[in-house]
Amino acid sequence: MSAAQRIDLSSATVLITGGARGIGAATVNKLITLGARVAVFDRDVAGHELRSYDRLLILAGDVCDREAVEIAVARVVEHFGSLDVVIANAGITPAPGTIRRTDPEQFDRVIAVNFGGVLNVVRASADELVRSGGHVLLVSSCAAFTPGMGGAAYMVSKAAVEQLGRALRIELAAVGTSAGVAYFGVVDTELARATLDNDPIGERIGAQLPWPLNRRLAADAAADVLITAVRRRSARVIAPRSWLPYFWLRGVLNPLLEARLVKDATVHEIIRDLERA
């Protein structure tokens, strides 16, 4: 397979982390329907949202455990004979909190899963992807490039994923392999609802996001975005599309938005309430 060719998912082997629920599970089910051989690596596979298929391999493990990730990649290759695509989707969303008041271990855990886990998967699978001329897709977030408060660990981790994807894209191109980054706004998943709907302060933080940026993307729609990005070997994909102007103009818009947020009385009140919680 050449990095210039589109990926034929009907004959591809795909490894997806965080594939037991939400966006990951929706993506897995669609990939299987398209004919792909799919391996899921997830910390908690009990009660997963996956259908039963012959071409599905489910592996339990933590992306923060480098050795476990390496073993999982080896098992995928042993089981299916190759590895063509990796979708690094595993991630966690912490409860809202300021940098001063968030428990350091919780902050570190978010970085470890959302960035360290992605790095572990990339390192473990890179040689196999180079061998197959495959593609790796890293799932970041629009939070990677948007000013905000109450979720610094998440924003930092997703910004790191973005930069990892940029470096990886350039390095892998030299050896006939491709890499891309997916940026999502708010996807309607259990994780998002827990943070933005079921947490009173999280709901107030979410209310600061204006229309149309606050429009939610269904998990099935997000899965379609990932699959299309893999097929096309897209360098980047942003969804919902209402985020596209912000993505391209962020260098201009972010200083203006930051200047407004640091003076906003409602934002100040939310931060004080976070630090009292």
Residue 45 near residue 20, CB atoms below 8 Å = yes
End-to-end CA distance of the chain: 54
Chain centre distance of CA 241? 17
Specify whether 53 is catalytic: no
User: SS3 for 98?
Assistant: coil
One-letter amino acid at 186 equals V
Q: How far apart are the C-alpha atoms of 112 and 120, rounded to whole Å?
A: 10
Task: Take residue 239 and report the two structure tokens written for it.
Answer: 């969804």
Residue labelled with tokens 């590895």: 83
Distance (Å) of CA 229 to CA 22, 221, 222: 18, 12, 11
Q: Are 70 and 53 in contact (CB under 8 A)?
A: no
Q: Identify whether the C-beta of residue 85 lies closer than 8 Å to the C-beta of residue 13.
A: yes
How open is the CA angle 158-193-137, to the nearest 5 degrees?
35
Which residue in the list 53, 154, 183, 246 is annotated as catalytic? 154
Contact between residue 31 and residue 86 where contact means Cβ atoms under 8 Å apart:
no
Annotated active-site positions, please?
154
